Structure 1
Amino acid sequence: MTAAPDPLTTTAAPPTTAELTSRFERAFGRLPDGVWQAPGRVNLIGEHTDYNEGFVLPFAIDKTARVAVGVRADSTIRLLSTYGDQGMFTTDVQGLDASAAKGWTKYPLGVMWALQQRGIAVPGLDLLLDSNVPLGAGLSSSHAIECAVVSALNELTGAGLAAEEMVLATQQAENDFVGAPTGIMDQSASLRGSKDHAVFLDCRDQSVRLVPFETEPAGLVMLVIDTKVSHSHADGGYASRRASCELGAEVLGVKALRDVQVADLEEASGLLDELTFRRVRHVVTENDRVLQTVDLLASEGPASIGALLDASHVSMRDDFEISCPELDLAVDTSRMHGAIGARMTGGGFGGAAIALTPVGSEQQVRNAVEQAFSDAGFKAPDIFTVAPAAGAMRIS
């Protein structure tokens, strides 16, 4: 088995599908059987509610991972990325080993392994990956890779898995192969997203309702502020928050924190230690904010949700304690210079903030955030816009 390349992702202009196909042919000596893509996601609101069987409201974004895949006649797997001079990673489909998978290769290999656990015969294959979903920014670059791969293999193997089943397969890959205790939100957004809509997901039963989220007609843009502070879901911070939630549910005698209402928090405060209570309070109030956001988007449109985004960030900063100085600065500066609402997005401990901003204030917000980061001595942030985009699909 060859040495594994480092994680990849570039925000440079991606190659066209034809260029990706041509590069596959040069690398592997034949044309691929197809090219599939899956988007990253921004979570509009609903953080750390997914594994508590609660509600989330992400949307797929117009930045994607793409895989060109060709089935082989033998059991060899060859993986290559377009990013950097990383070399080819080679292994065998019959011996997939999480401990041997390094860097970005653990994501496609984890999907193959999870499909095997479902009794699906995964063939040997050649795979070329390209992604322009920013790495470590909380935009779910890893799930975009996994969802592109599972979409490709679902078709190439004839497995016929429904989207809900592909969501669970990629979750198993994350949990049991990659070692990240994530829920189902990211995969659901990537696999089930729709242009100009957010995905209202009930994480208990996987039911989805598409909620119109059209920023352009409302004169708004969604700015993403990548703080460049790296994070990893596989580290102890994420796992400890999940453990606190599980403890809270156990003490309160409920299946999951989804079953606790805002009105129950006063009683809960007398049953839980102070730290666990704050963790629980975030999840319970965040679930309520998701429901309020869905109602407001339906009745009044995106310009009405700013206060809920702000409240979500305060809860993550103070109760769940997953923000960081760079995220707080991005959020506070955005609000002071014209954004109608802002919050960190993603698992926390770094990554990105989002700022829902009037078109006329976009440049002012950009300039102010860049200046604030410079004044604070922080690394320069990467600031860009995203729009709700379609979910995973075959593109060639």
Structure 2
Amino acid sequence: MTIWRAPGRINLVGEHTDYNDGFVLPFALEVGCTASVSTASDDADGWTVRSAQQPEPVVVRRSGLADADRADVPEWSRYVLGALWLLTDRGVDVPPLEIEVDSDVPSGAGLSSSAALVCSVARAVDDHLGLGLDDDALFALTRDVENDAVGAPTGGMDQLVSLRGEAGHALFCDMRSHATRSVPLDLAGTDLAVLVADTRAPHRHSDGEYGARRSGCEEAARRLGVDALRDVTADDLDAALDRLDDEELRRYVRHVVTEDDRVLSVVRLLDDGRLADIGPLLTASHRSMRDDFRITVPEVDTAVDALLEAGALGARMTGGGFGGCVIGLVPARSVDAASDAVRRAFADAGFAEPDLFTARPAQGAHRLEG
């Protein structure tokens, strides 16, 4: 049996920049998914997938993606089977296998439970079969599982950090080249904490709204004559906005360009050991998502305001928007007080009680002893 674990992630800064070929700065979490792969018994001829979070196993015949019976299996299992389908299409003779997965990443919180699942399976299958896939091939495989086998149009950030994350560091990702670099995120050494508030807000209209913003960004890039909004720099922003007569597109461009610039600024500060100084940039990111990109909801705005009033150095929504989690950079001694402030604010507003916890940058995908 071969066992690998891959983490979920928090995005420290850089929202909706990934599909604009821009910059992001996530870090891997301690929560994750464990995948165990073993060769099936001699009389088996298919693939069997089990999950500790699902009641029934899924058994399918071996095939490539084009011939797979995707409509006949539950969606969660496609994140597992996708790697097997795609490897088969790429000429790998994938034998009968049994795969078991177990995840402790909260589902629906915007912490990328799906990437943890896909990456743990891909690393375990690669290792078990001795394929020797390099970092780039593993990244391409995991991204293709979500895009092609599942049909989720992810930009690749989640898979990059789940595969390549380093304990004590954030991962600076260039989403055009997919080059990455670890950046120090020394929380313990600065007596700071990243406090996460899972608002448990339902993701309202997230699919259609996400698509509208992505297509709007692509249309703005077309009108500006650039390959992607990443090619508009902060110095170019005013001139670019003057060339657009659509106010919605102007707001989208302003968010993406300033958000890319914030990522670069945060990276410079972290490289210089100035973790406390990134707080205002996190808050500016939230205001941009709220006012320009318009992807926040009352629960996340309430959490951000409560954290700032409780002394957070900065706070922002993290993830694609319309619900999910908020992060605050808070003094370690103030974690309990800041958590209580968020709970009180939610109670006063009549919202469901949020879940609060601290997050530390953890290791990316790694092998466990069987």
Q: TM-score range by the shorter chain?
A: over 0.9
Maintained 8 Å contact 1:199/1:209 = yes
- After the TM superposition, which of the residue ranges 322-331 and 225-234 deviates more from structure 2? 225-234
Alpha-carbon distance between aligned partners in 2 of 1:173 and 1:233, rounded to the nearest angstrom = 24
Stretches of 4+ aligned residues off by more than 4 angstroms: none
In the alignment, residue 243 of structure 1 is paired with which amino acid?
Answer: S
RMSD, aligned CA: 1.6
Q: Does 1:219 align with 2:198?
A: no
Q: Does 1:62 align with 2:30?
A: yes
Alpha-carbon distance between aligned partners in 1 of 2:226 and 2:361, rounded to the nearest angstrom = 35
Maintained 8 Å contact 1:121/1:157 = no
Maintained 8 Å contact 1:179/1:234 = no
Instruction: For residue 312 of structure 1, give the secondary structure of its aligned residue in structure 2.
Output: helix
1:48-74 deviations in Å (ceiling 9; x for gaps): 111111111111011110011112254
TM-fit CA distance, 1:308: 0.4
In the alignment, residue 151 of structure 2 is paired with which amino acid?
Answer: G
Q: Does 1:205 align with 2:202?
A: no
Maintained 8 Å contact 2:241/2:253 = no
Tell me which residue corresponds to 1:369: 342
Tell me which residue corresponds to 1:23: none
In the alignment, residue 187 of structure 1 is paired with which amino acid?
Answer: Q
Kindly tell me: are residues 39 and 378 of structure 1, through their superposed partners in 2, closer, same or farther at Cα, counting changes over 3 Å? Answer: same
Alpha-carbon distance between aligned partners in 1 of 2:313 and 2:145, rounded to the nearest angstrom = 37
Q: Does 1:48 align with 2:48?
A: no
In structure 2, the gaps of 5 or more residues are none
Alpha-carbon distance between aligned partners in 2 of 1:106 and 1:339, rounded to the nearest angstrom = 40
Q: Does 1:391 align with 2:364?
A: yes
Maintained 8 Å contact 2:205/2:322 = no
Alpha-carbon distance between aligned partners in 1 of 2:243 and 2:230, rounded to the nearest angstrom = 17
Alpha-carbon distance between aligned partners in 2 of 1:192 and 1:279, rounded to the nearest angstrom = 30
Maintained 8 Å contact 2:119/2:365 = yes
In the alignment, residue 91 of structure 1 is paired with which amino acid?
Answer: V
The match for 1:380 among 339, 353, 359 is 353
In the alignment, residue 19 of structure 2 is paired with which amino acid?
Answer: Y
Alpha-carbon distance between aligned partners in 1 of 2:108 and 2:287, rounded to the nearest angstrom = 22
Alpha-carbon distance between aligned partners in 2 of 1:114 and 1:332, rounded to the nearest angstrom = 45
Kindly tell me: are residues 132 and 196 of structure 1, through their superposed partners in 2, closer, same or farther at Cα, counting changes over 3 Å? Answer: same
Maintained 8 Å contact 1:41/1:186 = yes
The match for 1:97 among 69, 73, 82 is 69
1:95-153 deviations in Å (ceiling 9; x for gaps): 42333332421211222233334333333211111111111111100100000011011
Maintained 8 Å contact 1:222/1:357 = yes
Tell me which residue corresponds to 2:121: 149
Maintained 8 Å contact 2:4/2:367 = yes
Maintained 8 Å contact 1:78/1:125 = yes
1:343-387 deviations in Å (ceiling 9; x for gaps): 111111111011111011111110010111111111111101111
Instruction: For residue 80 of structure 1, give the secondary structure of its aligned residue in structure 2.
Output: strand
Please list, as runs of the form range in 1=range in 2, the aligned pairs for 1:42-191 lying within 5 A after superposition.
42-72=10-40, 73=42, 74-83=44-53, 86-94=55-63, 95-191=67-163
Maintained 8 Å contact 1:114/1:173 = yes
Maintained 8 Å contact 1:54/1:203 = yes
In the alignment, residue 81 of structure 2 is paired with which amino acid?
Answer: L
TM-fit CA distance, 1:260: 0.6
Alpha-carbon distance between aligned partners in 2 of 1:116 and 1:236, rounded to the nearest angstrom = 33
Alpha-carbon distance between aligned partners in 1 of 2:338 and 2:92, rounded to the nearest angstrom = 49
Maintained 8 Å contact 1:59/1:198 = yes
TM-fit CA distance, 1:283: 0.9
Tell me which residue corresponds to 1:18: none
Aligned-residue sequence identity (percent) comes to 49
1:154-190 deviations in Å (ceiling 9; x for gaps): 1122222112221121111111222221101110100
Kindly tell me: are residues 160 and 313 of structure 1, through their superposed partners in 2, closer, same or farther at Cα, counting changes over 3 Å? Answer: same
In structure 1, the gaps of 5 or more residues are 1-32
Tell me which residue corresponds to 2:276: 303
Maintained 8 Å contact 2:206/2:322 = no
- After the TM superposition, which of the residue ranges 259-268 and 323-332 deviates more from structure 2? 259-268
Tell me which residue corresponds to 1:231: 203
Maintained 8 Å contact 2:206/2:321 = no
TM-fit CA distance, 1:232: 8.9
Instruction: For residue 358 of structure 2, give the secondary structure of its aligned residue in structure 1.
Output: strand
Q: How many residues align?
A: 363
Q: Does 1:36 align with 2:4?
A: yes
Alpha-carbon distance between aligned partners in 1 of 2:132 and 2:239, rounded to the nearest angstrom = 47
Q: TM-score, normalised by structure 2?
A: 0.94
TM-fit CA distance, 1:231: 3.3
Instruction: For residue 319 of structure 1, give the secondary structure of its aligned residue in structure 2.
Output: helix
TM-fit CA distance, 1:234: 8.0
Please list, as runs of the form range in 1=range in 2, the aligned pairs for 1:179-328 lying within 5 A after superposition.
179-231=151-203, 235-272=207-244, 273-328=246-301
1:299-336 deviations in Å (ceiling 9; x for gaps): 14211100000001111111111111111111110011
